[in-house]
Structure 1
Amino acid sequence: MVVDDHSVNRFLLRLVLERSWPHCTVCEAEDGQKAVQALQEMHHDLVFMDMVMPHMDGIEATQALRASQDPRVARTPVIGLTANVNQQDLARFESSGLNVLMLKPFEPEKLCEQIEQLVYAQATTLRTDTAQA
């Protein structure tokens, strides 16, 4: 899922994802509130979250996901995307529950590397959880 209040940013990220993984389905939301609602209704493997949005920003949305009663929602990997980073923001981003924070504009290759690492880590965690059950 791609969450960003700017349609051009959503389009560019969708383009990178669909070119790198042609069979993936990319859903979109234009703010954190809509993203949290959509994620509660349907599982997504990964979320790209803009940090600065109206209604509910990326920090609040990520915290809401992490607080979910549904473990699949709470454990969904979140890659935060931002163009602005200062020390105060960095501390807030780190405490929000993001898996990774990337700066905009991002390099498609670096983004793909992060995706592969997170999805692999998630698959490994799920296999471990299942084996222990």
Structure 2
Amino acid sequence: MIQHQCTVREAADGEKALQTLQDQHHDLVFMDMVMPHMDGIEATRTLRASPLPWVASTPVIGLTANVNQQDLARFEAAGLNVLMLKPFEPEKLCAQIERLLDLRAPSSTTDSATKA
């Protein structure tokens, strides 16, 4: 099994999250739908519209306990890569992270050769 290291940065609201993303490259964003000042829907929309390529292309996993279908559709349409409802299973979250960051190790040399 491959070990990966990560650093987690937390932002209190969507505005602070966007500022953090502009200041430094991040590999992945967990975006909550409900936040003060700027919600996750608007923050994701703004992130996707950024002129900075490292911001606009950052994978975003949206997290919410909201089950209103219209709100969920708006959140997804804002530019999420994945939407996960709370409570979520940690294994499913890890699988999505691996998929988005392509962290899966090749299972054999044949797989590696096929991908080349």
| TM-score, reference length from structure 1 | 0.72
Instruction: Give 1:85 shift.
Output: 1.7
Aligned residue for 2:63, secondary structure, equals strand
Task: Identify the match of residue 64 of structure 1 among 32, 46, 50.
Answer: 46
Does residue 39 of the first structure (1) align with residue 21 of the second (2)? yes
Aligned residue for 1:101, secondary structure, equals strand
Please identify the structure whose Cα radius of gyration is greater.
Answer: 2
Deviation by residue 1:49-98 (Cα, 9 ceiling, x = unmatched): 00011100001100111011111110000000000121211220121000
Written as runs of structure 1 = structure 2, the 5 A alignment for 1:1-133 is 23-120=5-102
RMSD: 1.7
Identity score, percent: 77
CA distance in 1, matches of 2:95, 2:22: 27
| Structure 1 unaligned spans of 5+ | 1-20, 122-133
4+ residue runs of structure 1 moved beyond 3 angstroms?
none
| Structure 2 unaligned spans of 5+ | 104-116
CA distance in 2, matches of 1:23, 1:112: 14
* Number of aligned residue pairs: 102
Residue 70 of structure 1 aligns to which amino acid in structure 2? L
| TM-score, reference length from structure 2 | 0.83
Instruction: Give 1:22 shift.
Output: 5.9
CA distance in 1, matches of 2:65, 2:73: 15
User: Paired residue for 2:113?
Assistant: none
CA distance in 1, matches of 2:68, 2:87: 16
Aligned residue for 2:51, secondary structure, equals coil
